[in-house]
Structure 1
Amino acid sequence: MDRLWEALLGLPPALVLLLAFLLPALEASTFLGLLVPGEIAVLLGGVYAHDGRLPLVAVVLAALAGAVLGDQVGYLVGRRYGRRLLDRTPRRFVRSDELARALDLVRRRGAAAVVVGRWAAALRALVPGLAGLSGIPRRAFTLANLAGGALWAVAVSGLGYLAGASYRLVERRLGLGGEALLALVVVVVLVRFWRHRRSARHRG
Protein backbone atom coordinates (compact mmCIF):
# COMPACT_ATOMS: atom_id res chain seq x y z
CA MET A 1 0.00 0.00 0.00
CA ASP A 2 2.90 2.32 0.70
CA ARG A 3 3.96 1.89 -2.91
CA LEU A 4 0.46 2.76 -4.18
CA TRP A 5 0.30 5.88 -2.04
CA GLU A 6 3.80 6.86 -3.09
CA ALA A 7 2.69 6.43 -6.72
CA LEU A 8 -0.25 8.78 -6.12
CA LEU A 9 2.00 11.36 -4.52
CA GLY A 10 4.60 10.68 -7.20
CA LEU A 11 2.60 12.43 -9.92
CA PRO A 12 4.56 15.32 -11.43
CA PRO A 13 3.55 18.61 -9.77
CA ALA A 14 2.90 20.15 -13.19
CA LEU A 15 0.38 17.37 -13.93
CA VAL A 16 -1.38 17.89 -10.59
CA LEU A 17 -1.61 21.62 -11.30
CA LEU A 18 -3.01 20.90 -14.78
CA LEU A 19 -5.62 18.56 -13.30
CA ALA A 20 -6.54 21.18 -10.68
CA PHE A 21 -7.46 23.41 -13.63
CA LEU A 22 -8.83 20.79 -16.02
CA LEU A 23 -11.24 18.81 -13.84
CA PRO A 24 -13.11 21.89 -12.54
CA ALA A 25 -13.15 23.28 -16.11
CA LEU A 26 -14.82 20.11 -17.41
CA GLU A 27 -17.38 19.72 -14.61
CA ALA A 28 -20.12 21.95 -16.02
CA SER A 29 -18.90 22.35 -19.60
CA THR A 30 -19.02 18.59 -20.32
CA PHE A 31 -21.04 17.34 -17.29
CA LEU A 32 -17.94 15.42 -16.15
CA GLY A 33 -18.74 16.57 -12.63
CA LEU A 34 -21.63 14.09 -12.54
CA LEU A 35 -19.01 11.32 -12.55
CA VAL A 36 -15.75 12.84 -11.27
CA PRO A 37 -15.93 15.77 -8.83
CA GLY A 38 -13.35 18.42 -9.66
CA GLU A 39 -12.38 18.95 -6.04
CA ILE A 40 -10.42 15.67 -6.09
CA ALA A 41 -7.59 17.25 -8.07
CA VAL A 42 -7.80 20.51 -6.13
CA LEU A 43 -7.51 18.68 -2.80
CA LEU A 44 -4.49 16.78 -4.11
CA GLY A 45 -3.00 20.09 -5.21
CA GLY A 46 -3.44 21.39 -1.66
CA VAL A 47 -1.58 18.35 -0.30
CA TYR A 48 1.23 19.01 -2.78
CA ALA A 49 1.32 22.63 -1.63
CA HIS A 50 1.75 21.56 1.97
CA ASP A 51 4.67 19.35 0.93
CA GLY A 52 6.27 22.34 -0.78
CA ARG A 53 5.94 20.84 -4.25
CA LEU A 54 3.52 23.49 -5.51
CA PRO A 55 2.79 27.06 -4.41
CA LEU A 56 -0.61 27.15 -2.72
CA VAL A 57 -1.48 30.32 -4.63
CA ALA A 58 -0.83 28.47 -7.92
CA VAL A 59 -3.27 25.71 -6.90
CA VAL A 60 -5.89 28.30 -5.93
CA LEU A 61 -5.49 30.21 -9.19
CA ALA A 62 -5.61 27.03 -11.32
CA ALA A 63 -8.77 25.86 -9.54
CA LEU A 64 -10.36 29.30 -9.83
CA ALA A 65 -9.55 29.63 -13.53
CA GLY A 66 -10.87 26.15 -14.31
CA ALA A 67 -14.04 26.57 -12.25
CA VAL A 68 -14.92 29.97 -13.69
CA LEU A 69 -14.11 29.05 -17.30
CA GLY A 70 -15.96 25.74 -17.12
CA ASP A 71 -19.09 27.27 -15.62
CA GLN A 72 -19.03 30.12 -18.12
CA VAL A 73 -18.95 27.61 -20.98
CA GLY A 74 -21.69 25.58 -19.28
CA TYR A 75 -23.84 28.72 -19.03
CA LEU A 76 -23.39 29.53 -22.74
CA VAL A 77 -24.12 25.94 -23.75
CA GLY A 78 -27.25 25.92 -21.59
CA ARG A 79 -28.36 29.24 -23.03
CA ARG A 80 -28.16 27.92 -26.58
CA TYR A 81 -28.70 24.15 -26.38
CA GLY A 82 -29.98 23.57 -22.84
CA ARG A 83 -33.38 22.05 -23.52
CA ARG A 84 -32.11 19.71 -26.24
CA LEU A 85 -29.21 18.55 -24.06
CA LEU A 86 -31.47 17.84 -21.10
CA ASP A 87 -33.86 15.85 -23.27
CA ARG A 88 -31.01 13.74 -24.68
CA THR A 89 -28.95 13.21 -21.53
CA PRO A 90 -29.20 9.57 -20.35
CA ARG A 91 -30.87 9.38 -16.95
CA ARG A 92 -28.08 7.16 -15.65
CA PHE A 93 -25.88 10.27 -15.76
CA VAL A 94 -28.43 12.87 -14.63
CA ARG A 95 -30.79 11.59 -11.97
CA SER A 96 -34.26 13.07 -11.91
CA ASP A 97 -33.94 14.14 -8.26
CA GLU A 98 -30.65 15.95 -8.95
CA LEU A 99 -32.17 17.72 -11.94
CA ALA A 100 -35.24 18.71 -9.93
CA ARG A 101 -33.06 20.08 -7.11
CA ALA A 102 -30.95 22.09 -9.54
CA LEU A 103 -34.00 23.51 -11.33
CA ASP A 104 -35.64 24.42 -8.03
CA LEU A 105 -32.45 26.12 -6.84
CA VAL A 106 -32.14 28.21 -10.01
CA ARG A 107 -35.81 29.21 -9.90
CA ARG A 108 -35.67 30.26 -6.24
CA ARG A 109 -32.24 31.88 -6.07
CA GLY A 110 -31.49 33.10 -9.60
CA ALA A 111 -27.83 34.05 -10.05
CA ALA A 112 -27.18 33.32 -6.35
CA ALA A 113 -27.81 29.65 -7.20
CA VAL A 114 -24.44 29.67 -8.97
CA VAL A 115 -22.72 30.43 -5.66
CA VAL A 116 -24.85 28.03 -3.61
CA GLY A 117 -24.78 25.21 -6.16
CA ARG A 118 -21.00 25.16 -6.35
CA TRP A 119 -20.80 23.37 -3.01
CA ALA A 120 -22.53 20.18 -4.21
CA ALA A 121 -20.84 18.19 -6.97
CA ALA A 122 -23.99 17.16 -8.86
CA LEU A 123 -25.52 20.64 -8.68
CA ARG A 124 -22.19 22.21 -9.66
CA ALA A 125 -22.31 20.31 -12.95
CA LEU A 126 -25.93 21.22 -13.71
CA VAL A 127 -26.58 24.72 -12.37
CA PRO A 128 -24.55 26.74 -14.94
CA GLY A 129 -26.37 25.18 -17.89
CA LEU A 130 -29.73 25.58 -16.19
CA ALA A 131 -28.86 29.21 -15.41
CA GLY A 132 -28.28 29.79 -19.12
CA LEU A 133 -31.46 27.94 -20.02
CA SER A 134 -33.52 29.97 -17.53
CA GLY A 135 -32.38 33.28 -19.00
CA ILE A 136 -30.35 34.66 -16.09
CA PRO A 137 -28.47 37.71 -17.49
CA ARG A 138 -24.86 37.01 -18.45
CA ARG A 139 -23.45 39.80 -16.29
CA ALA A 140 -25.27 38.59 -13.18
CA PHE A 141 -24.16 35.02 -13.85
CA THR A 142 -20.53 36.04 -14.42
CA LEU A 143 -20.34 38.00 -11.17
CA ALA A 144 -21.85 35.11 -9.21
CA ASN A 145 -19.56 32.68 -11.02
CA LEU A 146 -16.46 34.68 -10.06
CA ALA A 147 -17.56 35.01 -6.44
CA GLY A 148 -18.52 31.36 -6.04
CA GLY A 149 -15.44 30.14 -7.89
CA ALA A 150 -13.11 32.20 -5.71
CA LEU A 151 -14.68 30.98 -2.45
CA TRP A 152 -14.66 27.36 -3.64
CA ALA A 153 -11.07 27.42 -4.93
CA VAL A 154 -9.70 28.93 -1.71
CA ALA A 155 -11.73 26.61 0.55
CA VAL A 156 -10.95 23.35 -1.27
CA SER A 157 -7.26 24.15 -1.79
CA GLY A 158 -7.02 25.12 1.86
CA LEU A 159 -8.68 21.87 2.94
CA GLY A 160 -6.15 19.92 0.89
CA TYR A 161 -3.34 21.88 2.52
CA LEU A 162 -4.72 21.18 6.00
CA ALA A 163 -5.25 17.52 5.13
CA GLY A 164 -1.58 17.28 4.20
CA ALA A 165 -0.61 18.90 7.48
CA SER A 166 -2.91 16.61 9.49
CA TYR A 167 -1.61 13.50 7.76
CA ARG A 168 2.01 14.42 8.48
CA LEU A 169 1.13 15.14 12.11
CA VAL A 170 -0.68 11.81 12.55
CA GLU A 171 2.13 9.97 10.80
CA ARG A 172 4.73 11.47 13.14
CA ARG A 173 2.77 11.11 16.38
CA LEU A 174 1.15 7.71 15.87
CA GLY A 175 3.65 6.10 13.56
CA LEU A 176 1.05 5.47 10.85
CA GLY A 177 2.35 5.01 7.35
CA GLY A 178 0.73 5.56 3.98
CA GLU A 179 -1.65 2.63 4.59
CA ALA A 180 -3.94 4.72 6.80
CA LEU A 181 -4.49 7.54 4.35
CA LEU A 182 -4.69 5.23 1.37
CA ALA A 183 -7.27 3.10 3.20
CA LEU A 184 -9.36 6.23 3.82
CA VAL A 185 -9.18 7.19 0.13
CA VAL A 186 -10.17 3.64 -0.92
CA VAL A 187 -13.14 3.64 1.48
CA VAL A 188 -14.40 6.98 0.14
CA VAL A 189 -14.10 5.77 -3.47
CA LEU A 190 -15.86 2.47 -2.69
CA VAL A 191 -18.71 4.22 -0.87
CA ARG A 192 -19.24 6.61 -3.80
CA PHE A 193 -19.16 3.69 -6.25
CA TRP A 194 -21.61 1.65 -4.14
CA ARG A 195 -24.03 4.59 -3.89
CA HIS A 196 -23.81 5.16 -7.65
CA ARG A 197 -24.51 1.47 -8.40
CA ARG A 198 -27.36 1.37 -5.90
CA SER A 199 -29.05 4.44 -7.37
CA ALA A 200 -28.55 3.03 -10.89
CA ARG A 201 -30.33 -0.21 -9.86
CA HIS A 202 -33.21 1.76 -8.35
CA ARG A 203 -33.56 3.80 -11.52
CA GLY A 204 -33.46 0.63 -13.62
Structure 2
Amino acid sequence: MTALATALGGVPDAVGYLILTAAVLAESVLLIGAFIPTLTLMLTAGALASTGQLHLLLVIAVAAGAVVTGDFLAHRTGLQLGTRLRTAGIGRRIPTTAWRRAEELMARRGGQAVLIARFVPVLRTLTPHLAGATRLPYRRIAPYSALAAPVWAAAEASAGYTAAASLQPVLTFGAPVVAGLLGVAAAVALWWRARGKAGSERDVKPATSFATSPRGMSSAGNTSSTPTPAGNQANSTPWPTWPTPSPSP
Protein backbone atom coordinates (compact mmCIF):
# COMPACT_ATOMS: atom_id res chain seq x y z
CA MET A 1 0.00 0.00 0.00
CA THR A 2 1.52 3.34 -1.05
CA ALA A 3 1.45 6.58 0.93
CA LEU A 4 -1.21 8.01 -1.40
CA ALA A 5 -3.45 5.00 -0.93
CA THR A 6 -2.97 5.13 2.84
CA ALA A 7 -3.82 8.82 2.88
CA LEU A 8 -6.91 8.16 0.81
CA GLY A 9 -8.28 5.79 3.43
CA GLY A 10 -7.57 8.02 6.42
CA VAL A 11 -9.12 11.35 5.37
CA PRO A 12 -12.69 12.66 5.04
CA ASP A 13 -14.61 11.85 1.85
CA ALA A 14 -14.17 15.28 0.25
CA VAL A 15 -10.43 15.25 0.81
CA GLY A 16 -10.27 11.72 -0.59
CA TYR A 17 -11.85 12.85 -3.85
CA LEU A 18 -9.39 15.75 -4.03
CA ILE A 19 -6.43 13.40 -3.56
CA LEU A 20 -7.77 11.14 -6.29
CA THR A 21 -8.26 14.07 -8.68
CA ALA A 22 -4.80 15.50 -8.01
CA ALA A 23 -3.06 12.14 -8.50
CA VAL A 24 -4.79 11.31 -11.80
CA LEU A 25 -4.29 14.86 -13.05
CA ALA A 26 -0.61 14.81 -12.13
CA GLU A 27 -0.13 11.52 -13.95
CA SER A 28 -1.53 13.04 -17.13
CA VAL A 29 0.09 16.46 -16.94
CA LEU A 30 3.56 16.01 -15.52
CA LEU A 31 6.15 13.66 -16.90
CA ILE A 32 6.92 12.69 -13.33
CA GLY A 33 3.37 11.38 -13.26
CA ALA A 34 4.64 8.29 -15.06
CA PHE A 35 5.82 7.15 -11.63
CA ILE A 36 2.58 7.87 -9.75
CA PRO A 37 0.80 4.60 -8.80
CA THR A 38 -2.69 5.53 -9.97
CA LEU A 39 -3.62 1.85 -10.35
CA THR A 40 -3.14 1.26 -6.62
CA LEU A 41 -4.97 4.47 -5.86
CA MET A 42 -7.97 3.57 -8.03
CA LEU A 43 -8.15 0.06 -6.58
CA THR A 44 -8.06 1.53 -3.08
CA ALA A 45 -10.80 4.01 -3.95
CA GLY A 46 -12.96 1.18 -5.29
CA ALA A 47 -12.37 -0.86 -2.14
CA LEU A 48 -13.34 2.12 0.02
CA ALA A 49 -16.47 2.51 -2.05
CA SER A 50 -17.44 -1.06 -1.19
CA THR A 51 -17.33 -0.15 2.51
CA GLY A 52 -19.45 2.96 2.00
CA GLN A 53 -16.67 5.45 2.73
CA LEU A 54 -16.68 6.66 -0.90
CA HIS A 55 -19.27 6.46 -3.67
CA LEU A 56 -18.31 4.29 -6.64
CA LEU A 57 -20.01 6.41 -9.32
CA LEU A 58 -18.50 9.57 -7.91
CA VAL A 59 -15.04 7.97 -7.89
CA ILE A 60 -15.44 7.06 -11.57
CA ALA A 61 -16.74 10.52 -12.50
CA VAL A 62 -13.95 12.34 -10.65
CA ALA A 63 -11.21 10.15 -12.15
CA ALA A 64 -12.64 10.39 -15.69
CA GLY A 65 -12.86 14.16 -15.48
CA ALA A 66 -9.26 14.36 -14.28
CA VAL A 67 -8.14 12.17 -17.20
CA VAL A 68 -9.82 14.36 -19.85
CA THR A 69 -8.46 17.55 -18.28
CA GLY A 70 -5.02 16.04 -17.93
CA ASP A 71 -4.86 14.89 -21.55
CA PHE A 72 -5.77 18.40 -22.70
CA LEU A 73 -3.06 20.03 -20.57
CA ALA A 74 -0.53 17.39 -21.57
CA HIS A 75 -1.22 18.12 -25.24
CA ARG A 76 -0.64 21.84 -24.58
CA THR A 77 2.62 21.07 -22.78
CA GLY A 78 3.90 18.97 -25.67
CA LEU A 79 2.85 21.68 -28.13
CA GLN A 80 4.95 24.25 -26.29
CA LEU A 81 8.02 22.09 -25.68
CA GLY A 82 8.14 20.44 -29.10
CA THR A 83 11.39 18.56 -29.65
CA ARG A 84 12.66 19.62 -26.20
CA LEU A 85 10.10 17.28 -24.60
CA ARG A 86 12.51 14.37 -24.37
CA THR A 87 15.61 16.33 -23.42
CA ALA A 88 14.21 18.86 -20.94
CA GLY A 89 14.06 18.16 -17.22
CA ILE A 90 12.46 14.93 -16.13
CA GLY A 91 11.99 13.81 -19.75
CA ARG A 92 15.60 12.63 -19.82
CA ARG A 93 14.87 10.17 -17.01
CA ILE A 94 12.13 8.40 -18.96
CA PRO A 95 13.58 5.20 -20.52
CA THR A 96 14.34 5.45 -24.23
CA THR A 97 12.33 2.29 -24.90
CA ALA A 98 9.21 3.94 -23.44
CA TRP A 99 9.63 6.97 -25.70
CA ARG A 100 10.17 4.72 -28.71
CA ARG A 101 7.03 2.68 -28.00
CA ALA A 102 4.96 5.83 -27.61
CA GLU A 103 6.31 7.30 -30.84
CA GLU A 104 5.63 4.10 -32.80
CA LEU A 105 2.11 3.92 -31.42
CA MET A 106 1.48 7.55 -32.30
CA ALA A 107 2.86 7.08 -35.82
CA ARG A 108 0.61 4.06 -36.49
CA ARG A 109 -2.60 5.13 -34.77
CA GLY A 110 -2.57 8.90 -34.54
CA GLY A 111 -5.34 10.07 -32.22
CA GLN A 112 -6.37 6.49 -31.46
CA ALA A 113 -3.05 6.08 -29.65
CA VAL A 114 -4.49 8.08 -26.73
CA LEU A 115 -7.30 5.53 -26.37
CA ILE A 116 -4.96 2.53 -26.52
CA ALA A 117 -2.25 4.04 -24.31
CA ARG A 118 -4.72 4.90 -21.56
CA PHE A 119 -4.59 1.25 -20.42
CA VAL A 120 -0.77 1.00 -20.48
CA PRO A 121 1.20 2.56 -17.61
CA VAL A 122 3.79 5.20 -18.58
CA LEU A 123 2.52 5.27 -22.18
CA ARG A 124 -0.69 6.99 -21.09
CA THR A 125 1.48 9.80 -19.71
CA LEU A 126 3.75 10.14 -22.73
CA THR A 127 1.23 9.81 -25.57
CA PRO A 128 -0.73 13.09 -25.10
CA HIS A 129 2.57 14.96 -24.77
CA LEU A 130 3.84 13.42 -28.00
CA ALA A 131 0.60 14.30 -29.76
CA GLY A 132 1.22 17.95 -28.97
CA ALA A 133 4.94 17.75 -29.79
CA THR A 134 4.14 16.36 -33.26
CA ARG A 135 1.62 19.18 -33.84
CA LEU A 136 -1.32 16.79 -33.97
CA PRO A 137 -4.46 18.93 -33.45
CA TYR A 138 -6.21 18.39 -30.14
CA ARG A 139 -9.53 17.76 -31.88
CA ARG A 140 -7.98 14.60 -33.31
CA ILE A 141 -7.38 13.12 -29.86
CA ALA A 142 -10.28 14.66 -27.89
CA PRO A 143 -12.92 12.01 -28.80
CA TYR A 144 -10.59 9.16 -27.90
CA SER A 145 -9.62 10.81 -24.64
CA ALA A 146 -13.29 11.31 -23.73
CA LEU A 147 -14.02 7.65 -24.53
CA ALA A 148 -11.01 6.17 -22.75
CA ALA A 149 -11.40 8.18 -19.54
CA PRO A 150 -14.67 6.70 -18.18
CA VAL A 151 -13.83 3.18 -19.40
CA TRP A 152 -10.46 3.22 -17.65
CA ALA A 153 -11.83 4.74 -14.45
CA ALA A 154 -14.75 2.32 -14.30
CA ALA A 155 -12.54 -0.71 -14.94
CA GLU A 156 -10.00 0.03 -12.23
CA ALA A 157 -12.40 1.31 -9.58
CA SER A 158 -14.80 -1.59 -10.18
CA ALA A 159 -11.95 -4.07 -9.85
CA GLY A 160 -11.14 -2.72 -6.40
CA TYR A 161 -14.81 -2.66 -5.46
CA THR A 162 -15.39 -6.27 -6.56
CA ALA A 163 -12.19 -7.58 -5.00
CA ALA A 164 -12.98 -6.02 -1.62
CA ALA A 165 -16.55 -7.31 -1.67
CA SER A 166 -15.50 -10.85 -2.59
CA LEU A 167 -12.64 -11.01 -0.11
CA GLN A 168 -14.79 -10.06 2.85
CA PRO A 169 -16.65 -13.41 3.14
CA VAL A 170 -13.43 -15.26 2.43
CA LEU A 171 -11.71 -13.54 5.34
CA THR A 172 -14.74 -14.03 7.59
CA PHE A 173 -15.37 -17.74 6.99
CA GLY A 174 -12.11 -18.89 5.46
CA ALA A 175 -9.75 -17.76 8.21
CA PRO A 176 -11.04 -20.28 10.81
CA VAL A 177 -10.90 -23.07 8.24
CA VAL A 178 -7.32 -22.23 7.30
CA ALA A 179 -6.35 -22.03 10.98
CA GLY A 180 -7.90 -25.47 11.62
CA LEU A 181 -6.08 -27.02 8.67
CA LEU A 182 -2.78 -25.59 9.86
CA GLY A 183 -3.42 -27.03 13.34
CA VAL A 184 -4.16 -30.49 11.94
CA ALA A 185 -1.04 -30.37 9.77
CA ALA A 186 1.10 -29.42 12.77
CA ALA A 187 -0.36 -32.28 14.88
CA VAL A 188 0.29 -34.81 12.10
CA ALA A 189 3.87 -33.58 11.72
CA LEU A 190 4.54 -33.93 15.46
CA TRP A 191 3.03 -37.42 15.55
CA TRP A 192 5.08 -38.56 12.57
CA ARG A 193 8.26 -37.20 14.14
CA ALA A 194 7.59 -38.95 17.47
CA ARG A 195 6.79 -42.23 15.66
CA GLY A 196 10.04 -42.13 13.70
CA LYS A 197 12.07 -41.40 16.84
CA ALA A 198 10.53 -44.35 18.72
CA GLY A 199 11.23 -46.71 15.83
CA SER A 200 14.87 -45.70 15.66
CA GLU A 201 15.31 -46.38 19.41
CA ARG A 202 13.86 -49.91 19.05
CA ASP A 203 16.32 -50.68 16.26
CA VAL A 204 19.35 -49.59 18.29
CA LYS A 205 18.64 -51.45 21.62
CA PRO A 206 19.25 -55.16 20.54
CA ALA A 207 22.59 -54.43 18.97
CA THR A 208 23.77 -52.58 22.06
CA SER A 209 22.80 -55.41 24.51
CA PHE A 210 24.56 -58.08 22.45
CA ALA A 211 27.74 -56.08 22.23
CA THR A 212 27.90 -55.47 26.00
CA SER A 213 26.92 -58.98 27.21
CA PRO A 214 29.73 -61.28 28.60
CA ARG A 215 28.75 -64.10 26.30
CA GLY A 216 28.90 -61.89 23.27
CA MET A 217 32.30 -60.57 24.27
CA SER A 218 33.73 -64.06 24.84
CA SER A 219 32.43 -65.36 21.57
CA ALA A 220 33.73 -62.33 19.77
CA GLY A 221 37.16 -62.54 21.38
CA ASN A 222 37.71 -66.28 20.86
CA THR A 223 36.78 -66.64 17.25
CA SER A 224 40.35 -67.63 16.31
CA SER A 225 40.78 -70.38 18.97
CA THR A 226 38.62 -73.14 17.52
CA PRO A 227 39.18 -76.56 19.27
CA THR A 228 40.80 -79.29 17.21
CA PRO A 229 38.76 -82.46 16.72
CA ALA A 230 39.99 -85.67 18.37
CA GLY A 231 40.63 -87.36 15.08
CA ASN A 232 43.00 -84.70 14.01
CA GLN A 233 45.09 -85.04 17.18
CA ALA A 234 46.14 -88.61 16.21
CA ASN A 235 47.26 -87.47 12.86
CA SER A 236 49.45 -84.86 14.42
CA THR A 237 51.53 -87.49 16.49
CA PRO A 238 55.18 -87.60 15.26
CA TRP A 239 56.51 -90.83 13.60
CA PRO A 240 59.14 -92.79 15.51
CA THR A 241 62.74 -92.57 14.38
CA TRP A 242 64.77 -95.82 13.89
CA PRO A 243 68.53 -95.94 14.41
CA THR A 244 70.63 -96.12 11.32
CA PRO A 245 72.75 -99.34 11.09
CA SER A 246 76.49 -98.84 11.10
CA PRO A 247 78.44 -100.26 8.16
CA SER A 248 80.29 -103.58 8.67
CA PRO A 249 84.13 -103.55 8.72
> Where on the TM-score scale, by shorter chain, does this alignment land: which range?
0.7 to 0.9
Q: How far apart in 2 are the matches of 1:22 and 1:65?
A: 11
Match of 1:172 in 2: 172
**SS where residue 122 of structure 2 aligns?**
helix
Displacement after TM superposition at 1:57 (Å)? 0.8
Paired residue total? 172
Distance of 1:8 and 1:38 partners within structure 2: 12
The amino acid that maps onto 2:62 is: A
Task: Verify the 8 A CA contact 2:8 2:45 in the aligned structure 1.
Answer: no
2:160 is matched with 160
Identity of counterpart residues, as a percentage?
30
Correspondence 1:73 to 2:73: yes
Alignment pair present for 1:108 and 2:93: no
- Would the aligned equivalents of 2:31 and 2:90 in 1 still touch at CA under 8 Å? no
Q: Paired residue for 2:56? A: 56
1:99 is the counterpart of 2:99: yes
| Counterpart check, 1:122 vs 2:122 | yes
Aligned to 2:45: 45
User: 2:130 corresponds to which letter in structure 1?
Assistant: L
Q: Does the 8 Å contact 2:72/2:138 carry over to 1?
A: no
The Cα shift of 1:8 comes to: 7.0
Partner secondary structure for residue 121 of structure 1: coil
User: TM-score when scaled to structure 1?
Assistant: 0.77
The answer (yes or no) to whether the contact 1:16–1:41 under 8 Å persists in 2 is no
CA contact (8 A) 2:8 2:19 kept: no
Paired with 1:9 and 1:94, the residues of 2 have a C-alpha distance of 30
Q: CA deviation at 1:92?
A: 6.5
- Flag the 1:127–1:175 CA change in 2: closer, same or farther, 3 A: same
How far apart, CA to CA, are the structure 2 residues paired with 1:122 and 1:131? Answer: 15
Name the TM-score, length of structure 2 as normaliser: 0.64
1:107-139 deviations in Å (ceiling 9; x for gaps): 111000000001111101101100111222211
Deviation at 1:40, TM superposition (A): 2.4
RCO comparison, higher one (Cα < 8 Å, 6+):
1
Superposition RMSD in Å: 2.1
- 1:161 Cα deviation after fit: 0.7
Which residue of structure 2 lines up, in the alignment, with residue 22 of structure 1? 22
Alignment-mate amino acid for residue 164 of structure 1: A
- Which letter does structure 2 place at the counterpart of 1:98? A
> Does the aligned pair in 2 maintain the 1:68–1:145 contact within 8 Å?
yes
Cα pair distance change 1:34/1:173, threshold 3 Å: same
